[in-house]
A and B are shown apart, each in its own frame.
Chain A
């Protein structure tokens, strides 16, 4: 019986432990954010790398989701003559959910895993030790800039995704399914409130924090050579993805 508890309990304990250590890393990174030297150049470089790495996949995902949303909602609404609502439905789903979540998932796959691999390589090749040896704190030099870049870039990418997604929806709705373009747009402006957009962006900033923090955490504590680096990158993606979905539920519950 006790064995059974042990067996089922252990994963939960290790999850709790891991969560605790991620939080500790977060605290130490945030305490470094307000201490000189400020590393604007590195932050900027990381923002560029998060953005450049991910912008194409984010745009492709967004435009296809917008188009699919338009198609699906059109078939639904047509049953009771509500075609005019297609635009608003597409826009609301995108700004509130699809934009932030899909963007975060795509960036996790590109930039989150890259962060884990990069820091993991630095760990196993003793470059992190070298930073310590040269009196440069690696949390401040490596982790803090990546987290800031994640928090700042995700909302920007999400705005792009929202915009492109709505264009995709417009193309399907107006050009292919012949919904009146004036009505399509009017309903969007009528139904989508600034709040929907802002809350979506707050969500995406939280996701940016999650994916960069988890990526850095997994990379920073990599052990076991090249194989360990591969594992760190994979685990970073898995943990970030799951955390983004769980976080999305709670954020949605609180916000809307």
Chain B
């Protein structure tokens, strides 16, 4: 269970999150929608305490993570896996080493066991024969998928996906959607997904939260969102600009 209570965050004069409340139910997939630059990535970084709110609380399983010290945060973060928007692979390591990294750091598995898991995870994201490559030698979409493999390597209890399918072709997007659904069902993980793809949203989401002007303006199951009366929500899921007329 993750709960954001009255979270405010500004960068200089720019207010990004304003008294934001959001409940993320456990063992479900929650999709956050919102315009580019509205603060979705900022929300994810708050949930894993890479950013600290100016005010407000962030509860993860009942603990307010904004008050923890480094050591306590280290422990809490062991429950998390995160895919960064730009993948954030380590340039100095091969693809294989990148995916193996959390396993090496936090498990006592043998080299051989780690190798097996790495290959399996890479297979799941549709990559093979890349373990020896460096991240710089991959395409953007491939890097993203390696980041995804790294995020799920430890089968974490909470997985944060920052735009998992942006930059992928439709077939690969569908495969990644399926992978997220399978992983979530299989490990009973709490998943938070940011995406700009409405079709994918309705496919994977148990709940949808919509961010607008620093607040969650609507939050509910996909059918609830579909019939939402909020004008921005309607425009957003029906891909309408303000002035366009549906005729």
Interface, chain A (partner B; CB < 8 A): 118, 121-122, 125-127, 129-130, 132-137
Of A121, A132, A135, which is in contact with the most chain B CB atoms at under 10 Å from its CB? A135
Given A125-B91, A126-B88; 18 other pairs, CB 8 A cutoff? A118-B92, A121-B91, A122-B90, A125-B88, A126-B84, A127-B90, A129-B50, A129-B84, A130-B90, A132-B77, A133-B77, A133-B82, A133-B84, A134-B77, A134-B102, A134-B106, A135-B74, A135-B106
User: Residues of B within 8 Å of A, CB-based: how many?
Assistant: 22
Q: What is the distance, in angstroms, from A151's C-beta to the closest C-beta of chain B?
A: 22
Asked, given contacts A125-B86, A126-B84, A126-B86, whether A133 binds B50 with beta carbons under 8 Å apart, the answer is: yes
CB within 8 Å of A: which B67-96 residues: 70, 73-75, 77-78, 80, 82, 84, 86, 88-92
> Which chain B residues (89-129) contact chain A, with CB distance < 8 Å?
89-92, 101-102, 105-106
- Tell me, in angstroms, the Cα distance from A90 to B235 when the chains sit together: 80
Measured CA separation A135–B71 after assembly (Å): 9
The 8 A-B pairs of least Cβ separation, nearest first, read: A130-B88, A126-B88, A135-B77, A133-B82, A135-B74, A135-B78, A129-B50, A134-B102
Minimal beta-carbon separation of B84 from chain A (angstroms): 5
B82 and A130 contacting across the interface, CB-CB below 8 Å = yes
Q: Give me the interface of B with A, judged by CB distance under 8 Å.
A: 45, 48, 50, 70, 73-75, 77-78, 80, 82, 84, 86, 88-92, 101-102, 105-106
Inter-chain contact B70/A137, CB cutoff 8 Å: yes
Q: Kindly name the residue among A118, A121, A126, A129 whose own CB sees the greatest number of chain B CB atoms within 10 A.
A: A126
Are B91 and A129 in contact (CB-based, < 8 A)? Answer: no
Using Cβ atoms and an 8 Å threshold, which residues of chain A touch B82?
130, 133
* B84, A130: Cβ atoms closer than 8 Å: yes
Cβ contact of A129, chosen from B45, B74, B89, B105, cutoff 8 A: B45
Q: Do B80 and A133 touch (CB < 8 A)?
A: yes
Can you list 30 residue pairs at the A/B interface with Cβ under 8 Å?
A: A122-B90, A122-B91, A125-B86, A126-B86, A126-B88, A127-B89, A127-B90, A127-B91, A129-B45, A129-B84, A130-B84, A130-B88, A132-B50, A132-B73, A132-B77, A133-B48, A133-B77, A133-B80, A133-B82, A133-B84, A134-B106, A135-B74, A135-B75, A135-B77, A135-B78, A135-B105, A135-B106, A136-B101, A136-B105, A137-B70
Q: Are B88 and A127 in contact (CB under 8 A)?
A: yes
Write the nearest CB–CB distance from B118 to chain A, whole angstroms. 15
Task: Write the chain A residue with the least CB distance to B102.
Answer: A134
Q: Which residues in A have their C-beta under 8 angstroms from that of B84?
A: 126, 129-130, 133
Q: What is the CB-to-nearest-CB distance from A129 to chain B, in angstroms, rounded to a whole number?
A: 5
Most buried by A among B75, B78, B82: B82
